[in-house]
C-alpha cells in the first residue's frame, strides 16, 4: 500500500541518531535506499553513489507522528468549502471512511511537515460513531500515495459531547452502543433473514452495522474519545464485554485509574498541554501523560487541532516538563503511536527495513530554539517550503514587491 516515489540512496551522516527502538548513537549514519532505511549505526558504509546529508552536530529522529486531527480534511476552520471530516445526517457513521475526502494539495500539509511531523491521523468527527480514521504520510500527489493504513480504527465519542446520542444520559449512550453492537452481531448471523426483510428494525442501517463487524471481531480498533473516569471505565467495560481492541483518546482523567488502564493493556492518546477543567474532566492535569507512562500505559501524545499539528513537539516538551522522561516523550510521538495504529513494523523508529521518515534537527526536537534542517518522507527529501515561508519571504522587507 505504501508507495515510494523516488528510487534513490541517501546517507545522513555524522549526527546524533535517536533510533527510538534503542539508545542514541553518536556520529551515526542513517542509510536510506528506495524509500526505506537500510542501515543505522556508527559503522555504516556509505555507497559512493549516495546523496549525502551532513548531520554533524545535529539530532536525527524518526518523523513525528500525530495521532489526532483532520489533516487533509480541513483547510480553513470556519469555511465549509474545505471541510470534509464530518458526515452529517446520522449520528452512526461507522461506514464513513474519510480517505476520499483528503486533499493532498492542502496548505496544512507543507506547513506541518516542514516542522518535522511526517505522519498524522486523518480522523472523522461530527457524529457519535464518527467513522473510520486513516493514517497518512504528509507527502504524495494522490490520496493513494499518502495513505499508510485505511482504516486504522472506528472512532466513537463517549465524552460529554455525545450525550445527545444517548438521550442526554451517559447511561443512555452506553446502552445504545450495546444495542448497536448487538444488532451488528445479529445482523452478521442473519444476513439472509435481513435480505428477506425478516428481521425487526435494527439499531442502524445494515451498511453501518456491517462496518462495525471488524471491530466486533477484534480486528479493527475502536478509538474511544472519553475524558471522565466514569466514561473511560465504561469504555473499558464495553471493550471487555465485546472483546474489542480498544484505543483511548483524550483520556484527560486517565491518570486517576492509570493502573487499571495499564492492566487492561489499552493504549492511550493524550494531549499534555490541555489542563483546563470542564464538567467532562474536572480532574484534568498536566501530569496525565507522566502518570500514565509511569504506570506502564502505552501513551502517545497528540495535538488535536489540525492547523497546529506542528505543535506536537511543544506538547512533548511540556509532557517532559511535567514528569515524562525525555525518552518516553520521544517514543510517545514516534514508535508508540505507530504501535497503537498497527504500523510499527514500518514506522516509528530508525531501523533497517522501515519506511524512511526521518528528520534532522538543529538540537533537541522538543526545545523551542530547535529548527528543522531536513525532512525525509518515504526516503524523499522534502523542500522546506510552505505557503507561510512564501508569505514571509514576500514581506520580509517592506514594501513588498508584488
Partner 1 sequence: MRHLSATLLLVGLAGGCASAGAHQAGAVKPAPARAAPAARGASIAAGDSTSVDRAQYPSTYQRHANPPVVIRNATIMTAAGQEIQGGSILLRDGRIVSVGTTVQAPADAVVVDGTGKFVTPGIIDVHSHLGVYAAPGTDAESDGNEATTPVTAEVWAEHSFWPQDPQIPLAIAGGVTTIQALPGSANLIGGRSAVLKLVPSRTVQGMKFPNAPYGLKMACGENPKRVYGSRGGPSTRMGNMAGYRAAFISAEGYRRHWDKWNSDHQGDPPSRDLRLETLAEVLRGHILVQNHCYRADEMAQMMDLAREFGFHIRAFHHAVEAYKVGDLLATNGVAAAMWADWWGFKEEAMDGVQQNLALVQQAGARATIHSDDPGGIQRLNQEVAKAMYAGIRAGIPITRDQALRWMTANAAWVLGLDSITGTLEPGKMADVVLWSADPFSVYAKALQVYNDGWLVYDRNDPAHQPRSDFELGQEPAPGSDR
| Chain residues 153-182 in contact with partner 1, contact rule CB under 8 A | 155, 157, 159, 161
Show contacts with partner 1 in window 176-235 (CB under 8 A).
223, 225, 227
* Nearest distance from C-beta of residue 86 to partner 1, angstroms: 7
**With contact defined as beta carbons under 8 Å apart, do 153 and 221 qualify?**
yes
* Nearest distance from C-beta of residue 142 to partner 1, angstroms: 23
Q: How many residues bind partner 1 (CB under 8 A)?
A: 77
Show contacts with partner 1 in window 278-297 (CB under 8 A).
278-287
**With contact defined as beta carbons under 8 Å apart, do 121 and 134 qualify?**
yes
**Strands 147-157 and 222-226, bridge-based pairing:** parallel
* Nearest distance from C-beta of residue 133 to partner 1, angstroms: 8
* Nearest distance from C-beta of residue 384 to partner 1, angstroms: 11
The correct pick among 7, 192, 197, 276 for binding partner 1 (CB under 8 A) is 276
Show contacts with partner 1 in window 112-131 (CB under 8 A).
123-126, 130
**With contact defined as beta carbons under 8 Å apart, do 40 and 77 qualify?**
no
* Nearest distance from C-beta of residue 307 to partner 1, angstroms: 4
Show contacts with partner 1 in window 83-112 (CB under 8 A).
83, 85-86, 107-108, 111
The correct pick among 23, 399, 401, 402 for binding partner 1 (CB under 8 A) is 399
Q: Does 328 bind partner 1 (CB under 8 A)?
A: no
* Nearest distance from C-beta of residue 253 to partner 1, angstroms: 9
* Nearest distance from C-beta of residue 322 to partner 1, angstroms: 6
- Which residues touch 255 (CB under 8 Å, ≥6 apart)? 283, 285, 287, 288, 291, 292
Show contacts with partner 1 in window 47-86 (CB under 8 A).
68-70, 74-79, 83, 85-86
Show contacts with partner 1 in window 17-46 (CB under 8 A).
none
**28: part of which helix (H) or strand (E)?**
strand 25-33
DSSP alpha helix (H) spans, 167-257: 170-189, 191-195, 206-216, 229-242
DSSP 176-202: HHHHHHHHHHHHHH-HHHHHTT-SPPP
Q: Residue 11 or 65: which CB sits closer to partner 1?
A: 65
Stretch in the footprint of partner 1 (CB under 8 A) among 152-160, 197-205, 214-222, 258-266:
152-160
Strand partners, 52: 11
Q: Does 150 bind partner 1 (CB under 8 A)?
A: no
Stretch in the footprint of partner 1 (CB under 8 A) among 176-184, 230-238, 338-346, 367-375:
367-375
Burial label for 21, CB within 10 Å (0-12, 13-18, 19+), is middle
The correct pick among 274, 339, 351, 381 for binding partner 1 (CB under 8 A) is 274
* Nearest distance from C-beta of residue 45 to partner 1, angstroms: 34
**With contact defined as beta carbons under 8 Å apart, do 360 and 29 qualify?**
no
The angle formed by the CA atoms of residues 296, 297 and 299, to the nearest 5 degrees, is 125
Q: How many CB atoms lie within 10 A of CB 240?
A: 11
110 grid coordinates: 507543507
Amino acid at each position: 500500500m505504501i508507495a515510494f516515489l523516488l528510487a534513490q540512496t541517501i546517507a545522513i551522516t555524522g549526527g546524533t541518531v535517536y533510533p527510538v527502538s534503542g539508545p542514541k548513537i553518536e556520529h551515526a549514519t542513517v542509510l536510506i535506499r528506495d524509500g526505506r532505511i537500510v542501515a543505522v549505526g556508527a559503522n555504516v558504509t556509505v555507497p559512493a553513489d549516495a546523496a549525502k546529508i551532513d548531520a554533524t552536530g545535529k539530532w536525527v529522529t524518526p518523523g513525528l507522528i500525530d495521532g489526532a486531527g483532520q489533516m487533509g480534511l480541513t483547510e480553513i476552520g470556519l469555511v465549509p468549502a474545505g471541510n470534509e471530516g464530518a458526515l452529517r445526517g446520522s449520528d452512526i457513521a461507522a461506514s464513513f471512511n474519510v480517505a476520499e475526502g483528503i486533499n493532498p494539495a492542502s496548505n496544512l500539509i507543507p506547513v506541518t511537515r516542514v516542522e518535522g511531523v511526517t505522519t498524522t491521523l486523518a480522523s472523522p468527527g461530527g457524529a457519535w460513531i464518527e467513522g473510520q480514521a486513516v493514517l497518512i504520510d504528509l507527502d504524495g500527489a494522490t490520496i493513494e500515495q499518502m495513505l499508510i493504513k485505511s482504516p486504522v480504527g472506528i472512532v466513537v465519542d463517549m465524552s460529554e459531547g455525545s450525550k445527545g446520542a444517548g438521550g442526554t444520559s451517559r447511561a443512555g449512550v452506553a446502552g445504545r452502543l450495546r444495542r448497536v453492537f448487538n444488532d451488528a452481531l445479529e445482523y452478521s448471523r442473519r444476513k439472509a433473514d435481513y435480505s428477506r426483510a425478516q428481521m425487526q428494525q435494527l439499531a442502524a442501517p445494515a451498511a453501518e452495522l456491517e462496518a462495525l463487524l471488524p471491530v466486533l471481531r477484534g480486528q479493527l480498533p475502536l478509538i474511544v474519545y472519553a475524558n471522565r473516569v466514569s466514561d473511560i471505565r465504561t469504555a473499558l467495560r464495553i471493550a471487555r464485554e465485546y472483546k474489542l481492541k480498544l484505543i483511548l483518546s483524550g483520556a484527560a482523567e486517565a491518570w486517576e485509574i492509570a493502573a487499571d488502564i495499564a492492566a487492561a493493556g489499552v493504549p492511550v492518546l493524550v494531549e499534555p498541554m490541555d489542563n483546563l477543567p470542564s464538567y467532562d474532566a474536572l480532574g484534568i492535569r498536566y501530569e496525565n501523560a507522566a502518570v500514565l507512562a509511569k504506570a506502564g500505559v502505552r501513551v502517545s501524545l497528540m495535538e488535536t487541532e489540525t492547523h497546529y499539528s506542528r505543535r506536537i513537539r511543544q506538547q512533548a516538551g511540556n509532557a517532559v516538563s511535567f514528569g515524562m522522561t525525555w525518552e518516553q516523550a520521544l517514543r510517545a510521538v514516534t514508535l508508540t503511536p505507530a504501535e497503537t495504529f498497527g504500523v510499527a513494523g514500518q514506522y516509528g523508529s530508525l531501523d533497517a527495513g522501515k519506511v524512511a521518515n526521518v528528520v534532522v534537527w538543529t538540537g533537541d526536537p522538543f526545545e523551542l530554539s530547535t529548527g528543522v534542517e531536513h525532512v525525509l518522507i518515504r526516503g524523499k527529501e522534502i523542500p522546506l517550503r510552505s505557503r507561510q515561508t512564501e508569505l514571509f519571504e514576500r514581506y520580509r522587507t517592506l514594501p513588498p514587491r508584488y
